């Protein structure tokens, strides 16, 4: 095989990455790819052989936490070390900053590649599928109200989110709100934000998440999900990724007739994230970015 050249990803490569995602069955839109690129253009890379694109990887930093996703190599070029080279480039990029922990979500067939690079398993991240239908919402007893997210509260939302995610991901939350504000909701009371949920259109149906809530009030989390489902057109497919260690989230989605269809492995390289509280993370924003 000819030598592999790794260069920075550019906007001209977005269509290639979109095709690769669809071939993998990952259900990401072109807008998802572009948004992910815009989070951190310097952290996205593409592998070429003889000037032709062979694969890509994206990375994004959240302060002391980094994330790697969208690692795909053309099927006919797999098992030739291209994925390893791309991963090393992404890790090298993130390690140049003050990042202490790097995370990703691995499909089982790719997990061994990541383990060889030093990543260790944390927990399973489960994928559920449901169908949107009109739900009757009974007001909860916590004095919280679910309302549409307003632009003026995005910064406050990011601070709330960081208590559970373990890092401030305001650039992700800002972009999701700007692209689909009609699918962004918060639950709040006089003390501030108690939870939020965001969903967006996918190639097929809608992807739900991030969905983050104070774990002391599962009813707030339930009301957020039901409000989001009611906003989506009736009969649409809904896809959601739930940390298997969050039993409250598991109970909610299963009671609403979501069915598990796959799972991935949450993995980490580096130090443990001590300020993460996954019991408040009811759904991930996406395996590519956490």
C-alpha to C-alpha distance for 126 and 241, rounded to whole angstroms: 5
Contact predicate 203/33, CB 8 Å = no
Segments in the chain below pLDDT 70: 1, 139-142
pLDDT at 7: 98
CB neighbour list of residue 24: distance below 8 Å, 6 or more residues apart: 72
CA-closest candidate to residue 119, choices 71, 165, 75: 71
* Domains parsed from the chain with CATH numbers: 4-99 (3.40.630.30), 126-283 (3.40.630.90)
C-alpha to C-alpha distance for 242 and 252, rounded to whole angstroms: 10
pLDDT at 267: 97
pLDDT at 205: 98
Helix (H, G, I), strand (E, B), or coil: what is residue 285? coil
The bridge status of strand 45-49 relative to strand 4-8 is antiparallel
Predicted model pTM: 0.96
**Phi, psi (degrees; rounded to nearest 5) at 209:** 130, 150
pLDDT at 231: 96
- Residues paired with 212 in a beta bridge: 196, 281
Give the CA radius of gyration of the chain. 19
């Amino acid at each position: 095989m000819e030598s592999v050249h790794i260069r920075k990803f550019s906007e001209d490569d977005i269509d290639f990455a979109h095709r690769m995602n669809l071939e993998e069955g990952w259900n990401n839109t072109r807008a998802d790819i572009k948004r992910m690129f815009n989070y951190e253009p310097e952290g996205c890379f593409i592998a070429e052989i003889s000037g032709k694109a062979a694969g890509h990887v994206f990375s994004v930093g959240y302060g002391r936490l980094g994330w790697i996703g969208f690692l795909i190599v053309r099927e006919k070029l797999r098992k030739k070390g291209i994925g390893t080279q791309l991963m090393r480039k992404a890790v090298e990029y993130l390690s140049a900053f003050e990042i202490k922990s790097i995370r990703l979500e691995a499909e089982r067939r790719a997990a061994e590649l990541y383990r060889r690079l030093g990543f260790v398993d944390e927990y399973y991240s489960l994928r559920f599928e449901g169908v949107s239908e009109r739900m009757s919402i009974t007001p909860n007893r916590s004095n919280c109200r679910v309302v549409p997210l307003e632009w003026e509260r995005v910064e406050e939302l990011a601070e709330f989110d960081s208590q559970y995610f373990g890092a401030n991901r305001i650039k992700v939350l800002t972009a999701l709100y700007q692209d689909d504000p009609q699918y962004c909701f918060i639950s709040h009371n006089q003390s501030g934000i108690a939870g939020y949920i965001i969903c967006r259109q996918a190639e097929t149906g809608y992807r739900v998440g991030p969905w983050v809530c104070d774990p002391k009030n599962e009813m707030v989390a339930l009301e957020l999900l039901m409000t989001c489902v009611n906003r989506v057109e009736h009969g649409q497919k809904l896809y959601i990724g739930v940390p298997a260690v969050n039993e409250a989230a598991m109970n909610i989605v299963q009671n609403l007739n979501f069915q598990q269809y796959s799972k991935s492995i949450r993995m980490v390289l580096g130090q443990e994230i001590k300020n993460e509280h996954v019991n408040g993370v009811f759904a991930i924003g996406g395996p590519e970015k956490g």
